[in-house]
Chain A
Amino acid sequence: MTGSEAPLVELTGVAKSYREGDRERVVFRDARLAVAPGEWLFLVGRSGSGKSTLLNLVGGLDLPDAGTVAVQGMPINRLSERERTLFRRRHVGFVFQLYNLIPTLTVGENLLLPLELSGQLDQQGRERARYLLEEVGLSDRFSSYPDRLSGGEQQRVAVARALVHRPELLLADEPTGNLDAETSRQVLDLFERLIRPSGATMILVTHSMETVRLADRVVTVREGRLTEMTAGVGP
């Protein structure tokens, strides 16, 4: 975390566990984390260590059992379901491992959807969608359905969709986990080219050494604890 600037994301005393049949599986006991505005924080750790859960908590997709999750100073776990959803649609962008494009919408419509939801679907918004699609090299696929695209192409659309409404916070869950080395490089290049200049904060979950090199800071998730590592060092 840099300087004395107020963190964009702050987790204090967060606890979270899940029921699995009759057993209770504890993911976090007392997790603490602060991410500065514009910072790129990468989460690494073994499968099932709780990386995606942390991302879901920050995105307001899940609620902690205890503690506070604050984004832009707003304790989002105290917001109602509706307020969390409205907060998410305005301030957060998601990139998933499995792309998760809406299958019944064309590539273009997938990009326009966040704009429509956040009330930015005007001429400027449409131009931005076109611009981003051009940036990810898919301007000719505006009217194609996602199932016509390769995995790499789908993920590039997903990156464009996550950025189209200019969110302050970007959450990416293993964005290159499903892609080959060359395609992964293309996607990471996109991150550098499109997200860095926007000044957006990003929390990214990854297993990939190559990806970790882009991080400002790396945090390991292990047995419910968050441990900070030096940037550029693998898990």
Chain B
Amino acid sequence: MILWRAAARHLLRHPWQTVLAVLGVALGVAVVTAVDLANETARRAFTSAAQAVAGKATHQVVAGPAGIPEELYRSLRLSGIRECAPMLTAPVQTAAPPYRTLQLVGIDPFAEAPVRSYTGHFSGPLLETLVAQQGSCLLLQSTAAALRLRPGQPFTVESGGRRVLLTLAGYLDPPDAVTRLGLDSVLVVDIATAQEVLSQEGRLTRIDLVLPEGEAGARELAALEKLLPRGTSVVSAGARAGALDRMTRAFRLNLTALSLLALVVGMFLIYNTMTFSVITRRSTIGMLRALGVTRREVCAGVLGEAFLLGSAGTVAGLLLGSLLARELTRLVTRTINDLYFTLQVTGVHLYPETVLKGVLLGVGATLAAALPPALEATGAPPRAAMARSDIEETRRRLVPWAALAGALLMAAGGGLFFVSSAGITGGFAALFAVIIGYALTVPGAVLVLSRLFRPLLGLWLGVIGKMAARGVVVSLSRTGVAAAALVVAVSATIGVGIMVGSFRDTVQQWLGSWLRADVYLRVADRGNARLRPVLDPGLVRRVAAAPGAAGYTLSRRVSVEGAEGATEIFSLQMPKSTFIGYRFKEGDPEAAWGPFSRGEAVVVSEPYAYRHHLTVGRRLTLATAHGPRSFGVAGVFYDYGTDAGIVMMSRGAYLANWDDPGVDGMSFYARPGVSPGELVAQLRRLAGSAEVFVISNAELRRATVQVFDRTFAITGVLRLLTLVVACIGILAALMALQVERARELAVMRALGLTPAQVWGTVIGETALIGILSGILSVPLGIIQALVLIYVVNLRSFGWTMELSIDPLLVLQSVALALVAAVLGGIYPSLRIARSLPALALKEE
């Protein structure tokens, strides 16, 4: 009990160090918790939305972009399949503020009961209104309130550039909280209304089925498959939801990994704090050992202290994390909306799993980080006054061994990078091995570099400079650890910074080759979905004849459902010159053009080839309107539009296989002498009252880069947080280092050093640690960037990026290390300079 009191008072006597240590853990836990909550909230919102809309359906009949003919539903029911319900669904936007994207879900209220639970609660009059009154719809009461709508009130929605008036007939009544969450952004209408709003008369998106389990189900499924016309297929509902989940998994995993990087930095800082705490109390521990305190009790004491710090940090981290999660959830949801599908998240809850993870990480990481210093403390010989030089000598003897161990760990990590079967997790394990290995070599590097810097500092600052350089070397047990922590922290920000910068540069280069036309045109809508509504055929004819255009392309982007989920098909009618301008990773554009333009082959994007293990010469089967058809792969091109990947085919091939003449995008090449601005004006004039979005190449590039920056805003936030964790750690370490030297500095003052000279010695020393750490963090930062680019991102998304290192970013990071280090020296140097030397000499 008395022992514990001694440990607790040590923490209270060094309040700044204690607060900074707690803050270090808190920020580490907060980042991980916030990312986890944001991911989990988005995932749950998606899952419950999918479940609420799909209901109890076990299977779904799906088809290509043109949808399913309504007659198929009738014939299924006539054939005896009773438990089935049709659905036509697409996103629509409200036309007045507050603008919001809602998922329009058209259903047959009479067929719903066996399939979906929330529709079983319709009261008689509501059902009648929904079916009998065209344009009536249902919303959750909370959604209606957010849109400021009351029953009976009309409102306008936009779809495919058209505006349609709907009337709120009443409220949805979900049976449970999960369904309620899933229905947050759902607008329920009768199927006929949906067909009118979406201009898809006679079509359905899918038919949901409830098939029995076991053999009976298999028999029904076999019978059903015989009834299905070509171009339609039946897929299991779970497989479809799974494919969507897989699509965002890599994105979520990447965020989790980045947050773990922040935690690793945090752990290093905890290790640093605890090591300092132990080293500075070595003589006290020695006294206790002389009094009969066992090694185990000393170890338990240090771990107990770490537990206290870890627990306090974890509680603060969980609170901070749940606050931070609100902002991160917004960023994650926005990215998912930009890249994958429409999702609305209204609230962030602290899930028990997340809390458990935070506690395990916060307390566990603190204890793990404190274990080496705790063991070190038990090694303190039970002699009250062990010579400081002994400790330093022991440490210096360990330096070559630590460097060797570090080199081996880095080699092991390096080897793991080349094992591609290790996947993303293996990539991260290797990365962490390299980081820790590198950190082990830092004290040795500090030793060598300080000796090199010593004459330089001597020339510059005279004896003070030499003392500062010497101080770093003779206190290697402290400075080595502080420098290693600083290197890990700063390198993480360099690594992530280079990765994002390289990605951005790569995307900009890609946009240069991908966006070759002068002006682009598509239907105007407020949604961010990749799949757009089709343009009016009359409009296409009108704008195609624009006098300022030398040529144009027609495109259509659709999603084709298959057993393994959806495949995005991008069909394009374009001149050869455009096609051969695309950057190919595999295959020759000149050679690929022939089979591509004849419709015999397709080209696939890099992530698609990576996910589906496709190379040039292999074949790919797609579910066409005329049944499954195999296409040759003529090339693999670079594309950074979606990590799910796309298949590009000629428009001719698309028309022949899917009977869908729709066009959702056009691009125009300006005649010589016509500026893109003039062409934009011409096209807008020709479009007349049609709601179209006409944008020049430069504007589109800017908008795309904006979306990119939005996507990586979250990475930026995480990088910033890692930086804050790092700064706090550096401050804590250097303050501890200098506070510990109070007595030594007081002796210097007693010997006649002026306050300014003491200040110079302290700042010189911390600045040297800062600059050395800054320099040493550059190679590790670049290694991390290489791993993130060539291993982690490649294995997550299948994207090749070109490494581009911004010297400014590197300089900034080195400067940051220096500034943080100098800041860390200010408080103790001022304290010493201001206090009377006699007082410091009297203190322990």
Once the chains bind, are A62 and B381 in contact (CB under 8 Å)?
A: yes
How far is it, in angstroms, between the C-alpha of A147 and the C-alpha of B742 when the chains are bound? 15
Partner of A82, one of B7, B290, B294: B294
Verify if A183 is at the interface (C-beta below 8 Å from B).
no
- Knowing A96-B384, A102-B284, the reply to whether A114 touches B1 (Cβ < 8 A) is no
B698 at the binding interface (Cβ < 8 Å): no
**Contact residues on A (Cβ < 8 Å of other chain), bracket:** 20 to 34
Compute how far the CA of A62 lies from the CA of B2 in the bound complex, rounded to whole angstroms.
Answer: 26
Contact A113 B2 (CB under 8 A): yes
Q: Which of A85, A89, A101, A146 has the most CB of B within 10 A?
A: A85
The segment out of A5-13, A32-40, A104-112 that lies at the interface is A104-112
Q: How far, in angstroms, from A101 to B295 measured CA to CA in the complex? A: 19
Q: Which chain A residues lie closer than 8 Å to B295 at the CB level?
A: 81-82, 85
State A109–B288 Cα separation when bound (angstroms). 13
Determine the chain A residues whose CB is within 8 A of the CB of B1 once the complex forms.
116
User: A105, B383: Cβ atoms under 8 Å?
Assistant: no
Contact with B along A85-111 (1 / 0, CB 8 A): 110111010101010111111000100
Task: Indicate whether B750 reaches chain A with its CB closer than 8 angstroms.
Answer: no
Interface contact B284-A117, CB-CB below 8 Å: no
Q: Enumerate chain A residues within 8 angstroms of B3, measured Cβ to Cβ.
A: 113, 116
A104 touches B10 (CB 8 A): yes
Residue of A nearest to B10 (CB): A104
Who on chain A is nearest to B11 by CB? Answer: A104
Alpha-carbon distance A59/B286, docked complex (angstroms): 13
State in angstroms the CA–CA spacing of A62 and B289 once bound together.
Answer: 12
Once the chains are docked, how many angstroms separate the CA of A98 from the CA of B385?
9
Answer yes or no: B291 CB below 8 A from chain A CBs.
yes
Beta-carbon contact of B293 and A117 below 8 Å: yes
Asked if A118 is at the interface of the complex by the 8 Å CB criterion, the answer is yes
Considering the chains assembled together, what is the distance between the CA atoms of A147 and B385 in angstroms?
A: 17
**Chain A residues closer than 8 Å to B844, beta-carbon distance:** 103, 146-147
Do A103 and B284 have beta carbons less than 8 Å apart? yes
Given the contacts A102-B6, A147-B842, A147-B844, A114 and B292 also touching, CB distance less than 8 Å:
yes
Those of B1-60 within 8 Å (CB) of chain A = 1-3, 5-7, 9-10, 13
Q: Nearest Cβ in chain B — how far from A128, in angstroms? A: 15
Chain B residues closer than 8 Å to A61, beta-carbon distance = 289-290, 381-383
CB distance from A224 to the nearest CB of B (A): 20
Interface residues of chain B: helix, strand, loop or mixed (majority): helix
Q: How many B residues have CB within 8 A of the partner chain?
A: 29
B296 contacts A by Cβ under 8 Å: yes
Report the minimal beta-carbon distance from B346 to chain A, rounded to whole angstroms.
51
- Chain A positions within 8 Å of B384 at CB level: 94, 96, 98, 100
* A83 (CB) vs chain B CBs: closest residue: B294
Residue A56, interface by CB 8 Å: yes
| B71 interface hit (Cβ, 8 Å) | no
Cβ B291 vs Cβ A94 within 8 A: yes
Asked if residues B9 and A85 are in contact (CB atoms below 8 Å), the reply is no
Check if B2 sits within 8 Å of A112, measured CB to CB. yes
CB-CB nearest in chain A for B285 = A102
Decide: B292 and A104 in contact? CB cutoff 8 A. no
Contact across chains for A85 and B289 when beta carbons are under 8 A apart: yes
The answer to whether residues A105 and B292 also contact, given A56-B383, A147-B844 and a CB cut-off of 8 A, is no
**Contacting pair B294 A85 (CB below 8 A):** yes
The docked-state distance in angstroms from the alpha carbon of A104 to that of B284 is 9
Q: In this complex, what residue of A is CB-closest to B12? A: A104
| Nearest chain A CB to B281 CB, angstrom units | 9
Bound Cα distance from A64 to B44, whole angstroms: 66
Of B6, B13, B291, B381, the residue contacting A117 (CB under 8 A) is B291
Chain B nearest CB, measured from A200 CB (Å)? 16
**In the complex, B149 has a CB within 8 A of chain A:** no
A104 near B9: Cβ-Cβ < 8 Å: yes
Tell me how far the C-beta of B5 lies from the nearest C-beta in chain A, rounded to whole angstroms: 6
Contact of B843 among A62, A96, A147 (CB under 8 A): A147
Instruction: Compute how far the CA of A89 lies from the CA of B5 in the bound complex, rounded to whole angstroms.
Output: 19
Q: Given A81-B295, A85-B294, A147-B843, is A104 in contact with B13 using a C-beta cutoff of 8 Å? A: yes
Partner of B9 from A92, A101, A105, A118 at Cβ < 8 Å: A105
Interface centre among A62, A102, A117 (most CB of B within 10 A): A102
Q: Taking each of B10, B292, B383, which has the highest tally of chain A beta carbons within 10 Å of its own beta carbon? A: B292
Residues of A contacting B288 in the complex (Cβ-Cβ under 8 angstroms): 102
The CA of A82 and the CA of B283, in the complex, are separated in Å by 19
Q: What residues on A are CB-neighbors of B13 within 8 Å? A: 104
- Assess whether B287 is interfacial by the CB under 8 Å rule: yes
Contacts of A104 in B (CB 8 A): 5-7, 9-10, 13, 284
Query: Can you name the residue of chain B whose Cβ is closest to the Cβ of A19?
Result: B393
A94 CB contacts on chain B under 8 angstroms:
290-291, 384
- Write out the residue numbers on chain B whose beta carbons fall within 8 Å of the beta carbon of A90: 292
Which residues of the partner chain B approach A116 to less than 8 Å between Cβ atoms? 1-3
Chain B, range 360-379, C-beta contacts under 8 Å to A? none
In the bound complex, residues from chain A placing their C-beta under 8 Å from that of B293 are 85, 89, 117
Give Cα A131–Cα B426 distance, bound, in whole angstroms.
65
Chain B nearest CB from A132 CB (Å) reads: 16
Closest chain A residue, CB of each to CB of B290: A94
Q: Are A85 and B292 in contact (CB under 8 A)?
A: yes
* Measured CA separation A103–B843 after assembly (Å): 10
Q: Are B291 and A89 in contact (CB under 8 A)?
A: yes
Report A-chain residues with C-beta under 8 Å of the C-beta of B10. Answer: 104
Contact with A along B577-594 (1 / 0, CB 8 A): 000000000000000000
Q: Complex: how many Å from CA A109 to CA B9? A: 12
Assembled-state Cα–Cα distance A100/B386 (Å): 12
CB-CB under 8 A from B382, the residues of chain A are 60-61, 85, 88
Are A82 and B291 closer than 8 Å at their CB atoms? Answer: no
Chain B 472-512 against A: per-residue CB contact (8 Å), 1 yes, 0 no? 00000000000000000000000000000000000000000
A114 to B292 Cα, complex, angstroms = 8
B651 CB → nearest A CB, Å: 80
Q: Do A100 and B287 have beta carbons less than 8 Å apart? A: yes
Q: Please, how many angstroms separate the alpha-carbon atoms of A195 and B6 in the complex?
A: 28
Determine how close the nearest CB of chain A comes to the CB of B614; give it in whole angstroms: 64
Q: CA A82 – CA B299 in complex, angstroms?
A: 13
B381 pairs with A86, CB closer than 8 A: no
Contacts of B385 in A (CB 8 A): 96, 98, 100
Contacts of A100 in B (CB 8 A): 283, 287, 290, 384-385
A40–chain B nearest beta-carbon distance, Å: 21
The answer to whether A102 touches B294 (Cβ under 8 A) is no
Alpha-carbon separation in the docked complex, A88 to B283 (Å):
18
Q: In the assembly, what is the distance between CA of A90 and CA of B292, in Å?
A: 8
Determine if A86 and B9 form an interchain contact, defined as CB atoms under 8 angstroms apart: no
Residues in B with CB closer than 8 Å to A81 are: 294-295
Chain B nearest Cβ from A143, distance in angstroms: 13
Q: Which chain B residue lies CB-closest to A112? A: B2
Interface residues of B in 265-313 (CB under 8 A from A): 283-284, 287-296
Chain B residues near A118 (CB-CB < 8 A): 292
Q: How far is the CA of A116 from the CA of B369 in the complex (A)?
A: 30
Chain B residues with Cβ below 8 Å from A89 are 291-293
Give every chain B residue within 8 A of A109 (Cβ-Cβ).
Answer: 2, 5-6
How far is the CB of A126 from the nearest CB of chain B, in Å?
12
30 residue pairs of the A-B complex, CB under 8 angstroms, read A56-B383, A61-B382, A62-B381, A62-B383, A82-B294, A82-B295, A85-B292, A85-B293, A85-B294, A85-B382, A94-B384, A96-B384, A96-B385, A98-B384, A98-B385, A100-B283, A100-B290, A101-B287, A102-B6, A102-B287, A103-B284, A104-B9, A104-B13, A105-B5, A109-B2, A112-B2, A114-B292, A118-B292, A146-B844, A147-B844
Q: A105-B6, A147-B843 are in contact. List 5 more A-B contacts (CB 8 A).
A: A59-B290, A89-B291, A100-B290, A117-B292, A117-B293
Ranked nearest first, the 10 interchain pairs of A and B with the lowest CB-CB distance are A89-B292, A104-B9, A100-B384, A103-B844, A104-B6, A61-B382, A85-B294, A88-B292, A100-B287, A113-B2
Q: Which residues of A contact B (CB under 8 A)?
A: 56, 59-62, 81-82, 85-86, 88-90, 92, 94, 96, 98, 100-105, 109, 112-114, 116-118, 146-147
Give the interface of B toward A (CB within 8 A): 1-3, 5-7, 9-10, 13, 283-284, 287-296, 381-385, 842-844
